[in-house]
Amino acid sequence: MIRPEAKFHLKIKQAHVVRCSSSFLGASGLSLLMCLFSIGVKMKAQSIKVLPLCACGCGKRVKTPGSKYAWGHARRLPKPKPEDFPFCTCGCGKRVLAKGNKFIHNHHMNCPEYRENAAEYAKTQWQDPEFREKGVKYLAQGSKKRWETPGERERQSERSKAMWKDPEYRKNEVACLSKSAKKQWQDPMFRAHIKALWADPDKRLLASQKSTEANLQRWADPEYYERTCEAMRNAVLVVGSSRSVGKNEHAFFESLRSVCNYQIVEQYNVYGYVIDGYLPEVNIAIEFDEPYHFSEKGRTTKDFYRMGNIAFKVGCSFIRVEEKEYLNEKERLLIRVVKTIGEIKNQNLPYPKFVIMLYN
């Protein structure tokens, strides 16, 4: 059965065909053409009849094959409720924001299985030399463009400072960095790569020069200098871990306490430096020099530079004793140290004070 609208189109098109074709077609040709045209219209009408109904429930049929809704009818559907969406796969207990999603935005990194798969996929990709070259080039260009933006460096610096001031964030980041570093160094390929890099003398020299320049630039900043020194002063020093203490050093100060009436603080932190022994009542620092102070090249110059920095900040006097003399002439050395402490206290020397070397 042909719909009424189809018949209406048929009449118009029949009249048009008759006007155009009657001039050059005969009676038989014109009748054949009309027959074929009628068959085509019937087939089209049948296709129109079998189009599906609109999914919104209005009872009308869609206009084009493959469509689910009539034009504009998709908006009539009720919006899905939040409880209709599934839970996030990461296990956070929240629901996703759209049907078909498995994770909330950025929650996929909370899933251990996803992280492992992503890490394996990234590792496989970066082992491809061509992909590595393109990736490094792309990252370098993006980083350079971002850091050249005016004010970007200051914004990133402030953002990083604000995040690292949070104790919980700092604790988590340090734990993650430590775990990542340990995992990297357990990889034989990574260890071989680092070893190959440092085996090249030119690359080693270049890395050393860059590190030296960066350190000099940082330490030239007064704010960085004071902040770092303050942090080092407040740091907890664990003997035997962050600094090696000679096996006879503690015994020397214990012996000195038995003959000296002043308080002696071992491993005293001052402005980023550690003094072997410090007498706060008389403002005297005592250094116990092991053999490496004399055998290591340039060590004496470093020691005097260190003492100069401490004396400039604290204004203390220095007494340096040699381990060799302590082992050979213990009692004599202790008497000399006590006598020297008394002389410094009685003389009331003005700033800057001096260094006394109790060496044989």
Which sequence spans correspond to the domains of the chain? Answer: 238-358
* pLDDT for the residue numbered 32: 63
Task: Determine the 3-state secondary structure of 287 from DSSP.
Answer: strand
Task: Taking each helix axis as running N to C, give the angle between helix 222-234 and helix 201-219, from 0 to 180 degrees, rounded to the nearest 10.
Answer: 90
CB of 278 closer than 8 Å to CB of 284: yes
Cα–Cα dist 62/71, whole Å? 8
Distance CA 112, CA 203 (A): 38
Average pLDDT rounded to a whole number, residues 338-348: 81
Neighbours of 338 (CB within 10 A): 15
Cα separation of 316 and 355, whole Å? 9
Q: Is the sign of the CA dihedral 61, 66, 68, 70 positive or negative?
A: negative
Tokens representing 209 are 């020069």
Tell me the per-residue pLDDT of 254-272, one tens digit each, with 9 for 90 and over. 899 888 888 888 888 877 7
Peptide bond into 352 cis (omega under 30): yes
> Does residue 74 surpass a pLDDT of 80?
no
Helices and strands counted in the chain (H then E): 14, 5
Burial class (CB in 10 A: 0-12, 13-18, 19+), 33: middle
Cβ neighbours around 278 below 10 Å, total = 22
pLDDT class of 233 with cuts at 50, 70, 90: low
Q: In terms of pTM, does the model score above 0.85?
A: no
pLDDT, one tens digit per residue, over 298-320 is 566 777 778 888 877 777 888 88
What CATH superfamily classification does 238-358 receive? VSR Endonuclease (3.40.960.10)
pLDDT recorded at residue 2: 46
Q: What is the DSSP letter of 150?
A: T
> Residue 84 phi/psi, 5° resolution?
-80, -15
Q: What is the pLDDT of residue 9?
A: 46
Are β-strands 317-322 and 284-289 bridged in parallel, bridged antiparallel, or unpaired?
Answer: parallel
Q: How far is CA 289 from CA 10, 297, 341, in A?
A: 114, 15, 18
- pLDDT tens across 197-218, in order? 778 888 878 887 888 888 888 8
Residue 215 pLDDT: 82
Provide the pLDDT for residue 5.
Answer: 45
